[in-house]
Chain A
Amino acid sequence: MKTGDQRRMIEARDVVKYFGRFKALDRVSFDVREGEKVVILGPSGSGKSTLLRSINQLETIDAGRIVVNGIDINDPATDITRVREEVGMVFQSFNLFPHKTVLENLTLAQVVVRKRSRQEAREKGLELLRKVGIAEKADVFPGRLSGGQQQRVAIARSLAMDPKLMLFDEPTSALDPEMIGEVLDVMKGLAREGMTMVVVTHEMGFAREVADRVIFMDHGAIVEEGTPEHFFTSPTHERTKLFLSQIL
Protein backbone atom coordinates (compact mmCIF):
# COMPACT_ATOMS: atom_id res chain seq x y z
CA MET A 1 0.00 0.00 0.00
CA LYS A 2 1.20 3.48 -0.81
CA THR A 3 1.50 6.08 1.87
CA GLY A 4 3.48 9.27 2.33
CA ASP A 5 2.77 12.54 0.62
CA GLN A 6 2.64 11.89 -3.07
CA ARG A 7 1.19 14.57 -5.24
CA ARG A 8 -2.57 14.94 -5.16
CA MET A 9 -4.14 13.80 -8.41
CA ILE A 10 -7.71 14.67 -7.46
CA GLU A 11 -8.83 17.13 -4.83
CA ALA A 12 -12.58 17.47 -4.42
CA ARG A 13 -14.09 19.91 -1.91
CA ASP A 14 -17.72 20.23 -0.91
CA VAL A 15 -19.01 19.10 -4.28
CA VAL A 16 -22.74 19.59 -4.76
CA LYS A 17 -24.74 18.40 -7.74
CA TYR A 18 -28.47 18.59 -8.36
CA PHE A 19 -30.52 16.79 -10.97
CA GLY A 20 -33.54 19.07 -11.03
CA ARG A 21 -34.54 19.10 -7.37
CA PHE A 22 -32.79 15.83 -6.55
CA LYS A 23 -29.55 16.31 -4.68
CA ALA A 24 -27.21 13.79 -6.28
CA LEU A 25 -24.05 14.92 -4.48
CA ASP A 26 -24.23 16.49 -1.05
CA ARG A 27 -21.00 18.31 -0.10
CA VAL A 28 -18.61 15.53 -1.07
CA SER A 29 -14.90 15.96 -0.33
CA PHE A 30 -12.11 13.52 -1.02
CA ASP A 31 -8.55 13.31 -2.32
CA VAL A 32 -6.79 10.82 -4.54
CA ARG A 33 -3.02 10.76 -4.50
CA GLU A 34 -0.82 9.90 -7.43
CA GLY A 35 -0.57 6.13 -7.85
CA GLU A 36 -3.44 5.48 -5.48
CA LYS A 37 -6.25 3.02 -6.25
CA VAL A 38 -9.57 4.11 -4.84
CA VAL A 39 -12.73 2.02 -5.08
CA ILE A 40 -16.09 3.72 -4.59
CA LEU A 41 -18.86 1.48 -3.29
CA GLY A 42 -22.47 2.14 -2.48
CA PRO A 43 -26.04 1.24 -3.36
CA SER A 44 -27.39 2.31 -6.73
CA GLY A 45 -28.50 5.92 -6.77
CA SER A 46 -25.99 6.82 -4.08
CA GLY A 47 -24.11 9.23 -6.37
CA LYS A 48 -21.02 7.10 -7.13
CA SER A 49 -21.22 7.43 -10.90
CA THR A 50 -22.18 11.09 -10.71
CA LEU A 51 -19.14 11.77 -8.57
CA LEU A 52 -16.89 9.88 -10.99
CA ARG A 53 -18.38 11.65 -14.02
CA SER A 54 -17.92 15.05 -12.43
CA ILE A 55 -14.16 14.43 -12.22
CA ASN A 56 -13.83 14.83 -16.00
CA GLN A 57 -16.82 17.15 -16.19
CA LEU A 58 -19.20 14.82 -17.98
CA GLU A 59 -21.40 16.21 -15.23
CA THR A 60 -21.01 19.85 -14.26
CA ILE A 61 -21.20 20.48 -10.54
CA ASP A 62 -23.39 23.14 -8.93
CA ALA A 63 -21.09 24.04 -6.04
CA GLY A 64 -17.70 23.14 -4.64
CA ARG A 65 -14.38 22.65 -6.29
CA ILE A 66 -12.61 19.84 -8.11
CA VAL A 67 -8.90 20.06 -8.89
CA VAL A 68 -7.56 17.40 -11.24
CA ASN A 69 -3.83 17.09 -11.84
CA GLY A 70 -3.38 20.60 -10.46
CA ILE A 71 -6.07 22.19 -12.63
CA ASP A 72 -9.30 23.61 -11.22
CA ILE A 73 -11.77 22.13 -13.70
CA ASN A 74 -14.57 24.55 -12.90
CA ASP A 75 -12.50 27.62 -13.45
CA PRO A 76 -14.03 29.31 -16.53
CA ALA A 77 -10.50 29.83 -17.87
CA THR A 78 -9.84 26.08 -17.87
CA ASP A 79 -9.93 24.28 -21.18
CA ILE A 80 -11.63 21.08 -20.08
CA THR A 81 -10.32 19.12 -23.06
CA ARG A 82 -6.77 19.60 -21.72
CA VAL A 83 -7.88 17.93 -18.49
CA ARG A 84 -9.77 15.12 -20.22
CA GLU A 85 -6.74 14.25 -22.36
CA GLU A 86 -4.98 13.20 -19.17
CA VAL A 87 -7.95 11.38 -17.64
CA GLY A 88 -9.00 8.05 -19.12
CA MET A 89 -12.56 6.87 -18.66
CA VAL A 90 -14.06 3.42 -19.03
CA PHE A 91 -17.84 3.14 -19.20
CA GLN A 92 -20.27 0.43 -18.19
CA SER A 93 -21.55 0.25 -21.77
CA PHE A 94 -18.06 0.30 -23.38
CA ASN A 95 -19.06 3.05 -25.84
CA LEU A 96 -16.70 1.88 -28.55
CA PHE A 97 -17.14 3.66 -31.88
CA PRO A 98 -19.09 1.11 -33.96
CA HIS A 99 -18.17 2.63 -37.32
CA LYS A 100 -14.44 2.25 -36.69
CA THR A 101 -12.34 -0.90 -36.43
CA VAL A 102 -10.83 -1.87 -33.12
CA LEU A 103 -7.48 -0.37 -34.08
CA GLU A 104 -9.12 2.81 -35.42
CA ASN A 105 -10.90 3.14 -32.08
CA LEU A 106 -7.47 3.29 -30.49
CA THR A 107 -5.84 5.61 -33.01
CA LEU A 108 -8.59 8.23 -33.52
CA ALA A 109 -8.00 10.39 -30.46
CA GLN A 110 -4.24 9.88 -30.64
CA VAL A 111 -4.25 11.48 -34.07
CA VAL A 112 -7.00 14.07 -33.51
CA VAL A 113 -6.15 15.14 -29.98
CA ARG A 114 -2.52 14.16 -29.37
CA LYS A 115 -1.54 15.01 -32.97
CA ARG A 116 0.51 11.85 -33.33
CA SER A 117 1.32 10.53 -36.79
CA ARG A 118 -0.87 7.67 -38.09
CA GLN A 119 2.11 5.34 -37.98
CA GLU A 120 2.97 6.23 -34.40
CA ALA A 121 -0.67 5.89 -33.35
CA ARG A 122 -0.95 2.49 -35.07
CA GLU A 123 2.12 1.16 -33.32
CA LYS A 124 0.93 2.42 -29.97
CA GLY A 125 -2.52 0.94 -30.63
CA LEU A 126 -1.21 -2.48 -31.60
CA GLU A 127 1.09 -2.55 -28.59
CA LEU A 128 -1.86 -1.86 -26.27
CA LEU A 129 -4.06 -4.43 -28.01
CA ARG A 130 -1.33 -6.99 -27.37
CA LYS A 131 -1.23 -5.88 -23.77
CA VAL A 132 -4.98 -6.47 -23.29
CA GLY A 133 -4.70 -9.73 -25.24
CA ILE A 134 -6.70 -9.03 -28.43
CA ALA A 135 -4.15 -7.97 -31.02
CA GLU A 136 -5.66 -10.44 -33.50
CA LYS A 137 -8.93 -8.43 -33.51
CA ALA A 138 -7.27 -5.17 -34.61
CA ASP A 139 -9.09 -4.94 -37.94
CA VAL A 140 -12.46 -6.20 -36.77
CA PHE A 141 -15.43 -3.93 -36.04
CA PRO A 142 -16.39 -3.77 -32.34
CA GLY A 143 -19.82 -5.27 -33.01
CA ARG A 144 -18.12 -8.60 -33.69
CA LEU A 145 -16.51 -8.78 -30.23
CA SER A 146 -17.82 -10.23 -26.99
CA GLY A 147 -18.61 -7.83 -24.15
CA GLY A 148 -15.40 -8.71 -22.32
CA GLN A 149 -13.33 -8.11 -25.44
CA GLN A 150 -15.10 -4.81 -26.09
CA GLN A 151 -14.38 -3.60 -22.58
CA ARG A 152 -10.71 -4.55 -22.92
CA VAL A 153 -10.57 -2.57 -26.16
CA ALA A 154 -12.21 0.37 -24.36
CA ILE A 155 -9.53 0.22 -21.66
CA ALA A 156 -6.81 0.09 -24.32
CA ARG A 157 -8.44 3.04 -26.11
CA SER A 158 -8.14 5.14 -22.94
CA LEU A 159 -4.58 3.98 -22.30
CA ALA A 160 -3.55 5.01 -25.80
CA MET A 161 -3.78 8.61 -24.63
CA ASP A 162 -1.18 7.94 -21.88
CA PRO A 163 -3.53 9.12 -19.14
CA LYS A 164 -2.27 10.08 -15.72
CA LEU A 165 -5.49 8.91 -14.12
CA MET A 166 -8.08 6.28 -15.04
CA LEU A 167 -11.75 6.39 -14.08
CA PHE A 168 -13.82 3.20 -14.25
CA ASP A 169 -17.61 3.50 -14.11
CA GLU A 170 -18.95 0.04 -13.27
CA PRO A 171 -16.75 -1.55 -15.95
CA THR A 172 -18.01 -5.09 -15.42
CA SER A 173 -21.69 -4.48 -14.66
CA ALA A 174 -22.84 -5.07 -18.24
CA LEU A 175 -20.80 -8.24 -18.69
CA ASP A 176 -21.76 -11.90 -18.55
CA PRO A 177 -20.23 -13.49 -15.45
CA GLU A 178 -17.66 -15.55 -17.38
CA MET A 179 -16.24 -12.36 -18.94
CA ILE A 180 -15.80 -10.35 -15.77
CA GLY A 181 -12.51 -12.02 -14.90
CA GLU A 182 -10.70 -11.08 -18.10
CA VAL A 183 -11.57 -7.39 -17.62
CA LEU A 184 -10.63 -7.39 -13.94
CA ASP A 185 -7.31 -9.03 -14.82
CA VAL A 186 -6.48 -6.17 -17.17
CA MET A 187 -7.41 -3.68 -14.46
CA LYS A 188 -5.29 -5.51 -11.88
CA GLY A 189 -2.33 -5.44 -14.25
CA LEU A 190 -2.81 -1.72 -14.66
CA ALA A 191 -2.92 -1.28 -10.89
CA ARG A 192 0.37 -3.18 -10.51
CA GLU A 193 1.99 -0.81 -12.98
CA GLY A 194 1.17 2.05 -10.66
CA MET A 195 -1.70 3.73 -12.54
CA THR A 196 -3.81 6.09 -10.47
CA MET A 197 -7.30 4.57 -10.54
CA VAL A 198 -10.77 5.49 -9.30
CA VAL A 199 -13.14 2.59 -9.72
CA VAL A 200 -16.89 2.46 -9.18
CA THR A 201 -17.77 -1.20 -8.96
CA HIS A 202 -19.76 -3.89 -7.22
CA GLU A 203 -16.87 -6.36 -7.40
CA MET A 204 -15.97 -6.76 -3.73
CA GLY A 205 -13.13 -9.17 -4.48
CA PHE A 206 -11.50 -6.56 -6.69
CA ALA A 207 -11.96 -3.88 -4.03
CA ARG A 208 -10.31 -6.07 -1.41
CA GLU A 209 -7.42 -7.11 -3.58
CA VAL A 210 -6.57 -3.90 -5.40
CA ALA A 211 -7.88 -0.90 -3.48
CA ASP A 212 -5.62 1.22 -1.31
CA ARG A 213 -8.72 2.88 -0.01
CA VAL A 214 -12.45 2.26 -0.16
CA ILE A 215 -15.03 5.04 -0.17
CA PHE A 216 -18.59 4.15 0.74
CA MET A 217 -21.33 6.48 -0.46
CA ASP A 218 -25.02 6.68 0.31
CA HIS A 219 -27.61 9.35 -0.54
CA GLY A 220 -25.04 11.48 -2.34
CA ALA A 221 -22.61 11.68 0.55
CA ILE A 222 -19.49 9.83 1.66
CA VAL A 223 -20.48 7.77 4.69
CA GLU A 224 -17.25 5.94 5.39
CA GLU A 225 -13.75 5.85 4.04
CA GLY A 226 -10.81 3.61 4.85
CA THR A 227 -8.54 0.72 3.95
CA PRO A 228 -10.20 -2.42 2.60
CA GLU A 229 -9.23 -4.31 5.78
CA HIS A 230 -10.98 -1.77 7.94
CA PHE A 231 -13.92 -1.44 5.59
CA PHE A 232 -14.73 -5.11 5.15
CA THR A 233 -13.87 -6.36 8.61
CA SER A 234 -14.76 -3.59 11.03
CA PRO A 235 -16.98 -0.96 9.44
CA THR A 236 -18.07 1.70 11.89
CA HIS A 237 -21.32 3.01 10.39
CA GLU A 238 -24.63 1.21 10.51
CA ARG A 239 -25.35 1.96 6.86
CA THR A 240 -22.04 0.43 5.81
CA LYS A 241 -22.78 -2.70 7.85
CA LEU A 242 -26.22 -2.96 6.31
CA PHE A 243 -24.81 -2.56 2.79
CA LEU A 244 -22.12 -5.18 3.38
CA SER A 245 -24.59 -7.64 4.88
CA GLN A 246 -26.76 -7.29 1.79
CA ILE A 247 -24.00 -7.61 -0.75
CA LEU A 248 -21.60 -10.20 0.76
Chain B
Amino acid sequence: MMNMEHDNKPIEVGDGAAIPTKADAGLFTAWRISFLGAVGALAYLVIAKPDPYLNILKFVPDGIVVTFKVTIGAILLSLVLGLLTGLGRISGNRFFNGIASVYVEVIRGIPLLVQIFYIYYALGRIVHVPDMLSAIIAMAVCYGAYMGEVFRAGIQSIPKGQMEAALSLGMTRSQAMGHVILPQAVKVVLPPIGNEFIALLKDSSLVSILAVSDLLRRGREYASESFAYFETYTIIALVYLIITLILSKLIGMMEERINENR
Protein backbone atom coordinates (compact mmCIF):
# COMPACT_ATOMS: atom_id res chain seq x y z
CA MET B 1 0.00 0.00 0.00
CA MET B 2 1.04 3.55 -0.63
CA ASN B 3 2.03 5.25 2.55
CA MET B 4 2.61 8.91 1.85
CA GLU B 5 2.00 10.39 5.25
CA HIS B 6 4.73 9.71 7.69
CA ASP B 7 5.47 13.23 8.78
CA ASN B 8 7.70 13.58 11.82
CA LYS B 9 8.55 9.92 11.75
CA PRO B 10 12.15 9.26 12.66
CA ILE B 11 14.33 8.56 9.68
CA GLU B 12 14.47 4.89 8.90
CA VAL B 13 17.93 3.52 9.31
CA GLY B 14 19.17 0.97 6.82
CA ASP B 15 20.91 -2.24 7.76
CA GLY B 16 24.38 -0.75 7.42
CA ALA B 17 27.05 -1.20 10.04
CA ALA B 18 26.60 0.83 13.17
CA ILE B 19 28.05 4.31 13.06
CA PRO B 20 30.11 5.10 16.15
CA THR B 21 28.41 7.48 18.54
CA LYS B 22 29.91 9.66 21.25
CA ALA B 23 28.59 7.20 23.83
CA ASP B 24 31.12 4.68 22.51
CA ALA B 25 33.98 6.89 23.59
CA GLY B 26 35.63 4.32 25.88
CA LEU B 27 38.82 2.44 25.03
CA PHE B 28 37.04 -0.85 24.28
CA THR B 29 34.40 0.29 21.87
CA ALA B 30 32.55 -2.21 19.73
CA TRP B 31 34.23 -0.64 16.74
CA ARG B 32 37.75 -1.06 18.11
CA ILE B 33 37.17 -4.63 19.20
CA SER B 34 35.77 -5.51 15.78
CA PHE B 35 38.43 -3.67 13.83
CA LEU B 36 41.43 -4.88 15.79
CA GLY B 37 39.96 -8.38 15.87
CA ALA B 38 39.50 -8.45 12.10
CA VAL B 39 42.92 -7.01 11.34
CA GLY B 40 44.53 -9.29 13.93
CA ALA B 41 42.81 -12.39 12.58
CA LEU B 42 43.80 -11.51 9.03
CA ALA B 43 47.43 -10.90 10.03
CA TYR B 44 47.57 -14.11 12.04
CA LEU B 45 46.18 -16.25 9.23
CA VAL B 46 48.46 -14.73 6.61
CA ILE B 47 51.59 -15.10 8.72
CA ALA B 48 50.83 -18.44 10.33
CA LYS B 49 49.55 -20.17 7.19
CA PRO B 50 50.77 -18.24 4.13
CA ASP B 51 49.58 -21.17 2.01
CA PRO B 52 46.73 -20.68 1.19
CA TYR B 53 45.86 -17.47 3.09
CA LEU B 54 48.58 -15.19 1.72
CA ASN B 55 47.94 -16.49 -1.80
CA ILE B 56 44.26 -15.69 -1.47
CA LEU B 57 44.98 -12.20 -0.16
CA LYS B 58 47.32 -11.58 -3.10
CA PHE B 59 44.62 -12.68 -5.51
CA VAL B 60 41.81 -10.34 -4.40
CA PRO B 61 43.08 -6.68 -4.58
CA ASP B 62 41.82 -6.35 -8.20
CA GLY B 63 38.42 -7.28 -6.85
CA ILE B 64 38.62 -4.68 -4.09
CA VAL B 65 39.25 -2.01 -6.73
CA VAL B 66 36.23 -3.19 -8.72
CA THR B 67 34.07 -3.24 -5.58
CA PHE B 68 35.09 0.34 -4.86
CA LYS B 69 34.41 1.42 -8.44
CA VAL B 70 30.93 -0.08 -8.37
CA THR B 71 30.21 1.32 -4.92
CA ILE B 72 31.41 4.86 -5.61
CA GLY B 73 29.72 5.00 -9.00
CA ALA B 74 26.46 3.75 -7.53
CA ILE B 75 26.67 6.14 -4.56
CA LEU B 76 27.12 9.19 -6.77
CA LEU B 77 24.34 8.18 -9.13
CA SER B 78 21.98 7.17 -6.32
CA LEU B 79 22.55 10.46 -4.47
CA VAL B 80 21.36 12.38 -7.51
CA LEU B 81 18.45 10.00 -8.04
CA GLY B 82 17.64 10.05 -4.33
CA LEU B 83 17.60 13.84 -4.07
CA LEU B 84 15.37 14.13 -7.13
CA THR B 85 13.09 11.43 -5.76
CA GLY B 86 12.95 13.05 -2.33
CA LEU B 87 12.05 16.43 -3.86
CA GLY B 88 9.47 14.71 -6.06
CA ARG B 89 7.90 13.01 -3.06
CA ILE B 90 7.31 16.33 -1.29
CA SER B 91 6.38 18.19 -4.45
CA GLY B 92 2.90 19.62 -4.79
CA ASN B 93 3.15 18.86 -8.50
CA ARG B 94 1.06 15.74 -9.01
CA PHE B 95 3.09 14.55 -11.96
CA PHE B 96 6.50 14.61 -10.25
CA ASN B 97 5.02 13.39 -7.01
CA GLY B 98 3.36 10.49 -8.82
CA ILE B 99 6.49 9.47 -10.68
CA ALA B 100 8.64 9.62 -7.54
CA SER B 101 6.12 7.71 -5.43
CA VAL B 102 5.59 4.95 -7.98
CA TYR B 103 9.34 4.62 -8.45
CA VAL B 104 9.85 4.17 -4.71
CA GLU B 105 7.01 1.68 -4.36
CA VAL B 106 8.06 -0.44 -7.33
CA ILE B 107 11.76 -0.55 -6.52
CA ARG B 108 11.22 -1.32 -2.86
CA GLY B 109 9.02 -4.22 -3.84
CA ILE B 110 11.61 -6.03 -5.97
CA PRO B 111 14.68 -7.78 -4.51
CA LEU B 112 17.96 -6.15 -5.46
CA LEU B 113 19.29 -9.37 -6.95
CA VAL B 114 16.30 -9.59 -9.28
CA GLN B 115 16.75 -5.92 -10.23
CA ILE B 116 20.39 -6.52 -11.08
CA PHE B 117 19.47 -9.38 -13.42
CA TYR B 118 16.55 -7.48 -14.86
CA ILE B 119 18.40 -4.25 -15.60
CA TYR B 120 21.32 -6.19 -17.02
CA TYR B 121 19.15 -8.10 -19.49
CA ALA B 122 16.73 -5.22 -20.15
CA LEU B 123 19.54 -2.82 -20.98
CA GLY B 124 21.23 -5.52 -23.03
CA ARG B 125 18.21 -5.68 -25.31
CA ILE B 126 18.44 -2.00 -26.20
CA VAL B 127 22.10 -1.06 -26.14
CA HIS B 128 25.33 -2.78 -25.41
CA VAL B 129 26.35 -1.64 -21.96
CA PRO B 130 29.52 -2.81 -20.22
CA ASP B 131 28.78 -5.21 -17.36
CA MET B 132 30.21 -2.88 -14.77
CA LEU B 133 28.09 0.07 -15.92
CA SER B 134 25.01 -2.12 -15.92
CA ALA B 135 25.82 -3.19 -12.37
CA ILE B 136 26.30 0.42 -11.25
CA ILE B 137 23.00 1.48 -12.83
CA ALA B 138 21.15 -1.39 -11.17
CA MET B 139 22.59 -0.59 -7.75
CA ALA B 140 21.90 3.14 -8.17
CA VAL B 141 18.32 2.64 -9.34
CA CYS B 142 17.65 0.48 -6.31
CA TYR B 143 19.41 2.66 -3.74
CA GLY B 144 18.03 5.86 -5.29
CA ALA B 145 14.60 4.79 -4.06
CA TYR B 146 15.80 4.18 -0.51
CA MET B 147 17.82 7.39 -0.44
CA GLY B 148 14.83 9.27 -1.80
CA GLU B 149 12.93 8.26 1.30
CA VAL B 150 15.81 9.39 3.51
CA PHE B 151 15.95 12.76 1.75
CA ARG B 152 12.18 13.13 1.97
CA ALA B 153 12.19 12.43 5.69
CA GLY B 154 15.16 14.77 6.18
CA ILE B 155 13.49 17.64 4.34
CA GLN B 156 10.23 17.08 6.19
CA SER B 157 12.05 17.11 9.53
CA ILE B 158 12.88 20.81 9.04
CA PRO B 159 10.18 22.87 10.78
CA LYS B 160 7.56 24.42 8.50
CA GLY B 161 8.37 27.87 9.87
CA GLN B 162 11.71 27.80 8.07
CA MET B 163 10.06 27.63 4.65
CA GLU B 164 7.50 30.24 5.70
CA ALA B 165 10.18 32.63 6.91
CA ALA B 166 12.12 32.24 3.67
CA LEU B 167 8.98 32.74 1.55
CA SER B 168 7.92 35.77 3.56
CA LEU B 169 11.29 37.35 2.73
CA GLY B 170 10.39 37.09 -0.94
CA MET B 171 12.34 33.96 -1.83
CA THR B 172 10.92 31.54 -4.35
CA ARG B 173 10.32 27.95 -3.26
CA SER B 174 13.47 26.74 -4.95
CA GLN B 175 15.57 29.54 -3.46
CA ALA B 176 14.21 28.67 -0.02
CA MET B 177 14.92 24.99 -0.66
CA GLY B 178 18.49 25.66 -1.76
CA HIS B 179 19.49 28.28 0.81
CA VAL B 180 17.43 27.35 3.85
CA ILE B 181 15.92 23.85 3.82
CA LEU B 182 18.49 21.61 2.15
CA PRO B 183 21.54 22.90 4.06
CA GLN B 184 19.73 22.01 7.27
CA ALA B 185 18.38 18.73 5.93
CA VAL B 186 21.86 17.56 4.94
CA LYS B 187 22.89 17.49 8.58
CA VAL B 188 19.84 15.46 9.45
CA VAL B 189 20.23 12.92 6.66
CA LEU B 190 23.96 12.36 6.97
CA PRO B 191 23.79 9.46 9.46
CA PRO B 192 21.11 7.49 7.58
CA ILE B 193 22.78 8.26 4.23
CA GLY B 194 26.04 6.97 5.69
CA ASN B 195 24.27 3.78 6.62
CA GLU B 196 22.97 3.50 3.08
CA PHE B 197 26.54 3.87 1.77
CA ILE B 198 27.70 0.99 3.91
CA ALA B 199 24.72 -1.14 2.99
CA LEU B 200 25.39 -0.36 -0.66
CA LEU B 201 29.01 -1.40 -0.35
CA LYS B 202 27.99 -4.74 1.08
CA ASP B 203 25.19 -5.25 -1.42
CA SER B 204 27.65 -4.54 -4.22
CA SER B 205 28.77 -8.16 -3.70
CA LEU B 206 25.56 -9.13 -5.49
CA VAL B 207 26.95 -7.83 -8.78
CA SER B 208 29.37 -10.75 -8.77
CA ILE B 209 26.59 -12.74 -10.43
CA LEU B 210 27.20 -10.64 -13.54
CA ALA B 211 30.58 -10.88 -15.18
CA VAL B 212 31.93 -8.20 -12.86
CA SER B 213 35.09 -9.26 -11.07
CA ASP B 214 34.46 -7.66 -7.71
CA LEU B 215 35.87 -8.83 -4.40
CA LEU B 216 33.42 -11.69 -3.98
CA ARG B 217 33.77 -12.93 -7.55
CA ARG B 218 37.56 -12.90 -7.34
CA GLY B 219 37.21 -15.04 -4.25
CA ARG B 220 34.92 -17.45 -6.04
CA GLU B 221 37.34 -17.68 -8.93
CA TYR B 222 40.18 -18.53 -6.58
CA ALA B 223 38.13 -21.02 -4.60
CA SER B 224 36.89 -22.89 -7.64
CA GLU B 225 40.45 -23.43 -8.80
CA SER B 226 41.98 -24.27 -5.44
CA PHE B 227 38.95 -25.88 -3.77
CA ALA B 228 39.96 -23.91 -0.64
CA TYR B 229 36.39 -22.67 -0.17
CA PHE B 230 36.45 -22.22 3.59
CA GLU B 231 39.79 -20.44 3.63
CA THR B 232 38.87 -18.15 0.73
CA TYR B 233 35.55 -17.02 2.17
CA THR B 234 37.19 -16.43 5.54
CA ILE B 235 39.54 -13.94 3.89
CA ILE B 236 36.74 -12.38 1.82
CA ALA B 237 34.58 -11.88 4.90
CA LEU B 238 37.46 -10.32 6.85
CA VAL B 239 38.31 -7.95 3.99
CA TYR B 240 34.66 -6.83 3.66
CA LEU B 241 34.47 -6.33 7.43
CA ILE B 242 37.64 -4.22 7.55
CA ILE B 243 36.47 -2.04 4.65
CA THR B 244 33.02 -1.39 6.10
CA LEU B 245 34.45 -0.67 9.55
CA ILE B 246 36.83 1.91 8.08
CA LEU B 247 33.98 3.44 6.08
CA SER B 248 31.72 3.66 9.11
CA LYS B 249 34.50 5.34 11.05
CA LEU B 250 35.02 7.90 8.30
CA ILE B 251 31.32 8.67 8.17
CA GLY B 252 31.21 9.04 11.94
CA MET B 253 34.10 11.49 11.83
CA MET B 254 32.48 13.50 9.06
CA GLU B 255 29.27 13.66 11.04
CA GLU B 256 31.11 14.91 14.10
CA ARG B 257 32.78 17.65 12.11
CA ILE B 258 29.51 18.83 10.68
CA ASN B 259 27.95 18.93 14.13
CA GLU B 260 30.87 20.96 15.48
CA ASN B 261 30.31 23.65 12.86
CA ARG B 262 26.90 24.52 14.09
The answer to whether A97 touches B162, judged by C-beta atoms less than 8 angstroms apart, is yes
Known: A84-B170, A99-B184, A113-B175. A91 touches B164 (CB 8 A): yes
Q: In whole Å, how far is B193's beta carbon from the nearest beta carbon of chain A?
A: 17
Residues of chain B within 8 A (CB-CB) of A114 are: 170
Main secondary structure of the interface of B (DSSP, over half): helix
Which of these, B159, B171, B262, contacts A113 with CB under 8 Å?
Answer: B171
The answer to whether A91 touches B165, judged by C-beta atoms less than 8 angstroms apart, is yes
Residues of chain B within 8 A (CB-CB) of A56 are: 167-168
Known: A91-B161, A95-B161, A95-B165. A85 touches B170 (CB 8 A): yes
In the complex, A58 has a CB within 8 A of chain B: yes
The answer to whether B171 touches A97, judged by C-beta atoms less than 8 angstroms apart, is no
Interface residues on B, range: 10 to 19
In the complex, A198 has a CB within 8 A of chain B: no
The answer to whether B171 touches A112, judged by C-beta atoms less than 8 angstroms apart, is yes
Q: In whole Å, how far is B151's beta carbon from the nearest beta carbon of chain A?
A: 17
In the complex, B179 has a CB within 8 A of chain A: yes
Residues of chain B within 8 A (CB-CB) of A158 are: 168-169
In the complex, B40 has a CB within 8 A of chain A: no
Q: In whole Å, how far is A109's beta carbon from the nearest beta carbon of chain B?
A: 4
Which of these, B164, B168, B170, B183, contacts A99 with CB under 8 Å?
Answer: B183
Q: In whole Å, how far is B160's beta carbon from the nearest beta carbon of chain A?
A: 9
Q: In whole Å, how far is A170's beta carbon from the nearest beta carbon of chain B?
A: 13
The answer to whether A113 touches B179, judged by C-beta atoms less than 8 angstroms apart, is no
A58–B162 alpha-carbon span in the complex (Å): 12
The answer to whether A84 touches B167, judged by C-beta atoms less than 8 angstroms apart, is yes
The answer to whether A87 touches B262, judged by C-beta atoms less than 8 angstroms apart, is no
Interface centre among A87, A88, A108 (most CB of B within 10 A): A108
In the complex formed, the residue of A with least CB distance to B160 is A95
Which of these, B159, B162, B170, B262, contacts A81 with CB under 8 Å?
Answer: B170
In the complex, B57 has a CB within 8 A of chain A: no
Q: Can you report 19 A-B residue pairs in the complex whose CB atoms are below 8 A from each other? A: A56-B168, A58-B164, A81-B167, A81-B170, A84-B167, A84-B170, A89-B168, A91-B165, A95-B159, A95-B161, A108-B169, A109-B166, A112-B171, A112-B175, A141-B262, A143-B262, A154-B165, A157-B169, A158-B168
Excluding A93-B161, A112-B171, 15 further A-B contacts by CB distance (< 8 Å) are A58-B164, A81-B167, A81-B171, A81-B172, A88-B168, A89-B164, A89-B165, A91-B161, A91-B164, A95-B161, A109-B166, A109-B171, A113-B175, A158-B168, A158-B169
A residues near B (Cβ < 8 Å) are: 56, 58, 81-82, 84-89, 91, 93, 95-99, 108-109, 112-114, 141, 143, 154, 157-158, 161
B residues near A (Cβ < 8 Å) are: 159, 161-162, 164-172, 175, 179-180, 183-184, 187, 262
Nearest 6 pairs of A and B residues by beta carbon: A85-B170, A95-B165, A109-B169, A95-B161, A89-B168, A113-B170
